[in-house]
Every structure is written in C-alpha cells, then in structure tokens.
Chain A
C-alpha cells in the first residue's frame, strides 16, 4: 500500500536508490503490488564522472528525476487466491520508461509473483528470484 509520499527502494540498475511516490496511476489512494506509480528519485547513485556526456550516462537517472515505476515488493501483506498471504520487509519498485519497459537492464533482488498476474513478464524474467 504505497500512497503519496511513500518511499521505497529501487531495485534495478538505473542508478536510483530511493524513490518517492507522487501519483498512483490506477486512480486510487494506494498502489498495491504490480501497480504503476509516478515517482521522484530521492537518492541516486553518483554517475561516474568519466562517463558524463556519453550514452551510458544518459540512461542513468539523477536525483530529482520524475519517472514511472512499478511496485514489486510491499510491506503490506498481499493475499493469493489459494489463501496464502505474503509480505516483504520493505517496499521496492522498478523504474519504467514511457513505454512501460524497465529503465535498467538488471533487477537486483527478490520480486513478488503477483507481477506475473499483472502481466509484467519482462520484469519477472529479469528477476533473480520470484517468490
């Protein structure tokens, strides 16, 4: 349940570390697992100074960038159809571009299997572990 001002970790290699939600795209007050949000990058990894100006640097995000993201882990438990509930210890998201494709090329960490139901197959295939 991520709402306005909700912070979460970014678990791809786009360069962002922490993102803050500013809009839940589904129109509700809170976003759940697999929902798309618009977020601001609050903290980002420093871009290697030797790379500034190159194509590789343009793919990395900076602090203050506004991007779309999809939520892949929530601290609020999510119910599965067979009666299971799953919750993670933190909230995490993966940044997306305008075409709903992941900005980064790798996913670093476990993601929830709800992404498969919500049709984020690219993310599920990139994820090292799906629970």
Chain B
C-alpha cells in the first residue's frame, strides 16, 4: 500500500442515508462474527446516550432486577420540553438488543396500570431507580413477575411513600 496508489485512488463519499463510523465508533471487526450481531451492537451503542445500557445489561453488578421500583420520564413530543412521569415496579425485562423493553406496573387510583417502555427510545428522557430490588419486600425469585397481577402482596405498598419522597426531593432541588 504505497502512498502513490493511495493518492491515485478517488476518495469515497458515502450517500447521506448510510452512517459512516466516525472516530467515536471505530470500524468494527467483522471477521468470524455474525454481521447482524455486530450491526445491532453498534446500534445499541449509538442509542445508549446516557448509560441506560448498563442498567439493563445481563452482567453488570448494578443492573436493575425485576422487582425494583423505577421512575421513568418520557418526553411528550420532540418539540416541547414537557414530560410525563410514570413510577412502577419492574415486572418484566425483555432483552433484544435495540428493541429491549421493560414493563412497569403500578396501582393508579386502585386500578392496576402497566406500561411497557422501549429502552432505547429517544422519547425516553431518564430512568431513575427509586428502590433497587433485594430488600425486605422486594425480594423476587423470578425473572417475570406477572403473578403480581393476581397476588400483589406487599409489592406496591411502598410506592406511595417513594413517590412522596421523590416529590419532596424535586421541590428541594428546585429551591437550590
């Protein structure tokens, strides 16, 4: 690969629809690897804006377990700043690369409400862990907690106080 041949070859400019890896993402090694896996991993890296991938990976010691209480903020529209929040117990995590989703369950005015969020959606502003699973009332021995729909036990009792705590923290933060 002499400099003479490099100078002679025309520079390739990709069409606008193709994302060329920049310095942030060096061109991945694709030999002996499933190409679709490589592409999907790169897509996840691009969508992993604020480190949410670590919360839902399989091996991370600080990952979210089913049964933890999360507070999710979603943007109502791309144009406006307004957000809606939803707090709930994680009852299911579905890990499928870029299409990873998790389901939160909460009791709103005595009616159970479940919301399934796409983890890497750009409309998902932030995820905050209010209570990690593993403490007294939140020790669950299943990956999917669909049985909580019929036998909630004490799983949703602490949510009210956690919500109030969160509101108080917000007010305190605004004051400062």
Judging by beta carbons under 8 Å apart, are A84 and B108 in contact?
no
Judging by beta carbons under 8 Å apart, are B116 and A110 in contact?
no
User: Which residue in chain A gives the minimum CB-CB distance to B72?
Assistant: A84
Which residues of the other chain, A, contact B86 by a CB distance below 8 angstroms?
131
Judging by beta carbons under 8 Å apart, are B115 and A85 in contact?
yes
User: Which residue in chain B gives the minimum CB-CB distance to A130?
Assistant: B84
Of residues 82 through 111 on chain A, the ones whose CB sits less than 8 Å from some CB of chain B are 82-90, 92, 109-110
A61 to chain B, nearest CB (A): 22
Interface size range on B against A:
10 to 19
Judging by beta carbons under 8 Å apart, are A89 and B118 in contact?
no
A33 to chain B, nearest CB (A): 13
Judging by beta carbons under 8 Å apart, are B149 and A110 in contact?
no
Judging by beta carbons under 8 Å apart, are B74 and A77 in contact?
no
Which residues of the other chain, B, contact A87 by a CB distance below 8 angstroms?
113-114
Judging by beta carbons under 8 Å apart, are A90 and B121 in contact?
no
The answer to whether the Cβ of A128 comes within 8 Å of any Cβ in the partner chain is yes
B3 to chain A, nearest CB (A): 49
Judging by beta carbons under 8 Å apart, are B116 and A89 in contact?
no
The residue that A84 contacts in the complex, of B109, B112, B117, B149, with Cβ under 8 A, is B117
The answer to whether the Cβ of B111 comes within 8 Å of any Cβ in the partner chain is yes
Of residues 87 through 132 on chain B, the ones whose CB sits less than 8 Å from some CB of chain A are 108-118, 121, 123-124
Judging by beta carbons under 8 Å apart, are A83 and B121 in contact?
yes
Of residues 58 through 92 on chain A, the ones whose CB sits less than 8 Å from some CB of chain B are 73, 77, 82-90, 92
Interface size range on A against B:
10 to 19
A89 to chain B, nearest CB (A): 4
Judging by beta carbons under 8 Å apart, are B74 and A89 in contact?
no
Judging by beta carbons under 8 Å apart, are B115 and A84 in contact?
yes
The residue that A77 contacts in the complex, of B110, B116, B117, with Cβ under 8 A, is B116
Which residues of the other chain, B, contact A109 by a CB distance below 8 angstroms?
109-111
B166 to chain A, nearest CB (A): 17
User: Which residue in chain A gives the minimum CB-CB distance to B118?
Assistant: A83
Given contacts A109-B109, A129-B108, A129-B109, contact A89 B149 (CB under 8 A): yes
Which residues of the other chain, A, contact B75 by a CB distance below 8 angstroms?
82
Which residues of the other chain, B, contact A84 by a CB distance below 8 angstroms?
74, 115-118, 121
Q: Which residues of A come within 8 Å of B, CB atoms? A: 73, 77, 82-90, 92, 109-110, 128-129, 131
Mind listing 20 A-B residue pairs with CB under 8 Å? A73-B111, A82-B124, A83-B117, A84-B115, A85-B116, A86-B114, A86-B116, A87-B113, A88-B112, A88-B113, A89-B111, A89-B112, A89-B113, A90-B111, A92-B111, A109-B110, A109-B111, A129-B108, A131-B108, A131-B115
Q: Which residues of B come within 8 Å of A, CB atoms? A: 74-75, 86, 108-118, 121, 123-124, 149
Counting from the closest, the 5 A-B pairs by CB-CB distance are: A89-B112, A83-B118, A82-B123, A85-B116, A83-B121
Q: 6 more A-B contacts (CB under 8 A) besides A82-B124, A85-B115, A87-B113?
A: A77-B114, A77-B116, A86-B113, A86-B116, A92-B111, A128-B109
